[in-house]
Structure 1
């Protein structure tokens, strides 16, 4: 296969992918990310090292490389062969993948964070390019591989009233400033006041809260949110994010369920493993549960302050083995495919690119052109790029679980513009 030719055939391109070793990642072989990385690149896994994210895409912070070349990045290969993206993608996003696919292994909670919209991303990138490395927005979706917990969005008005009545420690630090605030600004006032309090006050307040909860635990069963506060405080002592967690929805996803997050929506992944897809960006504004750089003022000013539970996607069946998860974003959708022994499934050709990652098992992926058919053996850790117009047939004699990320089909079919 001539992957560097002027007119590359419509066949799969195997990729060598990057790994991120953030402190919240699972350690050594307990991390699915580590195992995928080892199988993908043959790298040596360090038993005491954190393995957080496995990236498949073109982003500069964690690029993938074309396997059958002399260290040519997928980004550069696409620049040399833009036809592999298809006309719709090139016209809309230029010569680059508009999405980034990841696998996450979360050992402890990530920061309370939000991703800026395009306008704010452009401003932040211009002002602080070392911190905000691109000018793109970052809508995203997490699809659970295991039981997966997250904080996402603010609790309802009714739940907020209950928190203010039942958690005296929060009232002590926010005072009565919200009494004269217009109703639609109450949550903004409470959250901004809470996130702006000095560290010494937060430390004292958290100490009282943790002491009270531990005492009450002896005489009653704590709520799941109260148990979460105790857990977070052990991970991030004296961190305002522990208190702020009481204001967010606490979600628990089962394998095969997905959560999507738009621009300017607060969230924090807590534990578990997932496949994550997003617009091709690495912009994050943080304000708690992290030792990293925090920008509280920006975060508090950018949030939507929407209240209530977010939508959980179950996926729409395409065939007996594949479910499609389509968030309301133009850049991407994700297919989850679980093949049983002896099964075969076809991913039809579409006018846009796709990437695949094999999570477990082994099998083969067949593509055909006008001149020849090419079969590629795949197994756990395999990552592949499929050019626009490529039909992919997957078969297995055992069992295979794989994921496909591609541009939202509604965009490729030229329907009404989306978010």
Structure 2
């Protein structure tokens, strides 16, 4: 593979050396798929006492990928020098940078209750607090389960909210009068959605209460559930509350979890999350793809910086279960997951031993990450042997054939085809 600062002439597969993030919620040592991918990708020494949370493939400044075998050349700088690798559609729409970021996540304990700002808010937050909000982009995202995967996502329905307020006195005591206005009717004719206004009031009041009040309420809740567990089977949400309280004692996020949908994904299920939607990943491993941003507004289940006022003001307060994507089969081995976002889509490929598959040339770039197995990726001008931990960039206009002598599991991320084909 020849990679220089010169103009790009023929499509090539570019092998990448990727970054990781050692957040405290990540899985420990070799229990983390992220650590195993990182070891194979970088030849890194794994610390069994370290948390390995995220494996990043992309150009974002917080975790940039480098070109394998070439000292200190980042994928971002190489793209800037060779913008044709992105294709005209991508350059015209997003400039000389990859518009998406691909990750692998190994979640050992709950992430923070969070939301990602839309473009307007992201620009404002980046201008006001550049050290906290490191870019001005929005961050719609999608999680595609590699294992059983659990998350909190979006607010429960009005009917479920009524049940919570009636059956969990600890929340009712904290939010007080805010919960008395919970109304089931929605008057859409004059544009007034009372459900949303009441939910906003309840959630904002809960998240704004001081830590001492929350601590006492949680103590009462945990004691009550522990007693009741001796005489009845707790609901999955009640069990989750006890689990979260052990992870994050005296944290308002434990109570807030009762207001969110508890989503359980099987391997191959995907959950997408738009801007300003509340969520928190709880446990499991996944492929995650998003617009190229690292903006997160947090307000619970975290020791990190929290911005409760911003979070409460930015949320959509949409109620009901999120959509779960099952993927659309492109052929025997490939399923495509297309969220309603322009920046990305993800293909899952599970190749049988001895099988092969072709990814047609597209007018936009792709990145690949190999999760398990061994095989070869070929273009018209090169061949790369790949195995667990391999990450590669394929320029626009590159047809990629994948052959394998063993079972091979890998993922491709690229720009949403609807954008590429209908610019």
Return the TM-score normalized by structure 2: 0.96
CA contact (8 A) 2:196 2:318 kept: no
1:412 to 403, 413, 420: 420
Cα distance per residue 1:310-363 (max 9 Å; x no partner): 000000000000000000000000000000010000000000000000000000
Quote the offset at 1:11 in angstroms.
1.4
Instruction: Name the counterpart of 1:337.
Output: 349
Distance 2:352 2:145 in 1: 20
SS in structure 2 of the partner of residue 10 of structure 1: coil
**Residue 204 (structure 1) aligned with residue 205 (structure 2):** no
1:394 to 391, 399, 402: 402
Instruction: Name the counterpart of 1:47.
Output: 48
Instruction: Name the counterpart of 1:2.
Output: 2
Instruction: Name the counterpart of 1:27.
Output: 28
Quote the offset at 1:40 in angstroms.
0.1
Quote the offset at 1:2 in angstroms.
1.7
Cα distance per residue 1:187-208 (max 9 Å; x no partner): 0000000000000000000000
Structure 2 CA distance for partners of 1:67 and 1:157, relative to 1, 3 Å = same
Distance 1:69 1:8 in 2: 19
Instruction: Name the counterpart of 2:383.
Output: 375
Instruction: Name the counterpart of 2:128.
Output: 127
CA contact (8 A) 1:3 1:68 kept: no
Quote the offset at 1:183 in angstroms.
3.9
Instruction: Name the counterpart of 2:411.
Output: 403
Quote the offset at 1:178 in angstroms.
4.3
1:265 to 250, 273, 277: 277
Superposed, 1:2-401 pairs within 5 Å as: 2-4=2-4, 5-180=6-181, 182-368=194-380, 373-401=381-409
Distance 2:315 2:9 in 1: 44
Distance 2:41 2:177 in 1: 56
Distance 2:141 2:293 in 1: 10
SS in structure 1 of the partner of residue 382 of structure 2: strand
CA contact (8 A) 2:347 2:411 kept: yes
CA contact (8 A) 1:350 1:389 kept: yes
Distance 1:158 1:344 in 2: 50
Greater shift in the superposed pair: 321-330 or 68-77: 68-77
Distance 1:124 1:216 in 2: 45
SS in structure 2 of the partner of residue 319 of structure 1: coil
Distance 1:130 1:185 in 2: 33
Distance 1:216 1:36 in 2: 43
Quote the offset at 1:8 in angstroms.
4.0
CA contact (8 A) 2:66 2:73 kept: yes
Distance 1:391 1:309 in 2: 38
CA contact (8 A) 1:199 1:238 kept: yes
Distance 1:177 1:367 in 2: 61
SS in structure 1 of the partner of residue 304 of structure 2: coil
Distance 2:3 2:86 in 1: 14
SS in structure 2 of the partner of residue 310 of structure 1: coil
SS in structure 2 of the partner of residue 141 of structure 1: strand
Quote the offset at 1:9 in angstroms.
2.0
SS in structure 2 of the partner of residue 176 of structure 1: helix
Return the TM-score normalized by structure 1: 0.97
SS in structure 2 of the partner of residue 385 of structure 1: strand
CA contact (8 A) 1:2 1:8 kept: no
CA contact (8 A) 1:138 1:280 kept: yes
Which runs of 5 or more residues in structure 2 are unaligned?
183-193
Distance 1:207 1:268 in 2: 23
Quote the offset at 1:374 in angstroms.
1.4
Cα distance per residue 1:180-226 (max 9 Å; x no partner): 58443110000000000000000000000000000000000000000
Distance 2:203 2:226 in 1: 25
Distance 1:184 1:146 in 2: 34
Distance 2:418 2:195 in 1: 38
Distance 1:70 1:6 in 2: 19
Structure 2 CA distance for partners of 1:180 and 1:147, relative to 1, 3 Å = closer
